[in-house]
Amino acid sequence: MNRRGLLAGILAAPASVTSAHGQDERALGEGRRAYGERAVAVRSQRYFASSITPGTGASRTPLQDTHGIITPSALHFERHHSGVPDIDADRHAIMIHGLTHRALSFSVADLRRLPSVSRIHFIECAGNSGREHKGNPGETAQKSHGLVSCSEWTGVLLSTLLTEAGVHSEARWVVAEGADAGRHSRSIPLEKAMTDVLVAYAQNGEPIRPEQGYPVRLVVPGWEGNVNVKWLQRLQLATTPAMSRDEAASYTDLMPDGRARQFSFEMDVKSVILRPSGGQRLSGPGFHEISGLAWSGRGKVAKVEVSADGGLSWRLATLQQPVLDRSLTRFTAPWQWDGGGAHLLSRATDETGDRQPARDEVIAVRGMNEGPDGFNHYNGIKAWHVLPGGEVSHV
């Protein structure tokens, strides 16, 4: 083909666009969006505090805009990084060493060759809803409880890798380290590591997003989010915990007598009503469905109760299927609103019998001593107040 013919062919070809996933796709016409993008009217997004620059540390999931139990990957909350590392998955590897019979290195390709599992689990920051403990309740569900998200995670059980390396009898802890700028690390008891911890390379059917630890991260079911090390690059077997910054100075629970609890890994049973919730407005008196999420780091949610009169009376909500182990569980309850004031509450009970407490019950045990990184592991009941005009408020 000569030069003139080549140019004519280019000009005659359909226009091409690049989607958010980097795929070249044929344009569908003027004003149309690339395949896979959300509708223009859908504007739900993560929330960044005004003091935090997007992409450098923390964002919250818009729980009130979600349906079901799976959080879209792009809306999953993020925490603990000083910028997202740009890692070449083809060159990345996880090193296992310390009290092992042999030091091993697993590339991402190696991990994909091993037997895989897929599990649906929530990840929750230990500080989620901590401002409620402080007495400064969040105006919306996103601002009060948005540091929890739930995904389908796919990868290799950590026990598979540790068994391959061979664990010395004196080993008691696994120290996991990330490849981020801060080299974030946490210590995990070996018993937990050999039970259900996942070395994940996929989230919701696709490779893990960079903000969530691409190309590989730990998923530690039911335990505080800080332990779920992202951008995983090293696992060291040891006799004692590493006492890293986030398990010595931070992520401790300050008690009324001045002592601090350490290694309080499990997340307590919790729930929050999402519709109606703060920042929303009811369209008018009549039927409305109360909908929310419940979860527990100790197992399945057994029941959720709701109240429309500030806790004077309670009734059982319906748990939507599936009800999974250490996963978000959707609950619903029918409600006939008479147009007057109402005070909406929810409280969850897990399969161990642990029931979500009221705020004064938490304070009776924990007091009001704020730790070095704020209040952690707060799971008190959240109240939403419906005003006669239909506005829903946190106060």
**CA 152 to centroid of chain Cα atoms:** 11
Separation CA 208–CA 217 (nearest Å)? 8
- Domains in the chain, number: 2
* pLDDT of 261 above 90: no
Average pLDDT, the chain: 90
Q: Which residue has the higher pLDDT, 252 or 143?
A: 143
* pLDDT of 16 above 50: no
Instruction: Using DSSP, state whether 122 is helix, strand or coil.
Output: strand
Same domain, 193 and 281: no
Separation CA 298–CA 351 (nearest Å)? 8
pLDDT digits (tens, 9 = 90+) for 301-349: 999 999 999 999 999 999 999 999 999 999 999 999 999 999 999 999 9
Separation CA 305–CA 290 (nearest Å)? 11
Same domain, 82 and 197: yes
CATH number at residue 91: 3.90.420.10
Same domain, 200 and 298: no
Same domain, 201 and 237: yes
Same domain, 248 and 276: no
* Weakest mean pLDDT among 19-28, 221-230, 380-389: 19-28
Same domain, 226 and 274: no
For the entire predicted model, the pTM comes to 0.89
Q: Is residue 19 assigned to a domain?
A: no
Which pLDDT does position 52 carry in this prediction?
58
Q: Is residue 33 assigned to a domain?
A: no
Residues in Cβ contact with 50 at an 8 Å cutoff, skipping those fewer than 6 apart: none
Position 65, amino acid:
D
* pLDDT of 215 above 80: yes
Separation CA 220–CA 227 (nearest Å)? 7
Reported as a pLDDT band with limits 50, 70 and 90, residue 42 is confident
Same domain, 295 and 237: no
Which pLDDT does position 10 carry in this prediction?
36
**Domain membership of residue 304 as a residue range:** 270-393
Same domain, 252 and 274: no
Same domain, 251 and 159: yes
Q: Is residue 223 assigned to a domain?
A: yes
CATH number at residue 303: 2.60.40.650
Question: What is the arithmetic mean of pLDDT over 135-162?
Answer: 97
* Weakest mean pLDDT among 68-77, 214-223, 242-251: 242-251
Please state the φ and ψ torsions of residue 11, each to the nearest 5 degrees.
Answer: -65, -30
Which pLDDT does position 13 carry in this prediction?
42
Which pLDDT does position 282 carry in this prediction?
97
Q: Is residue 216 assigned to a domain?
A: yes
Q: Is residue 59 assigned to a domain?
A: no
Same domain, 102 and 242: yes
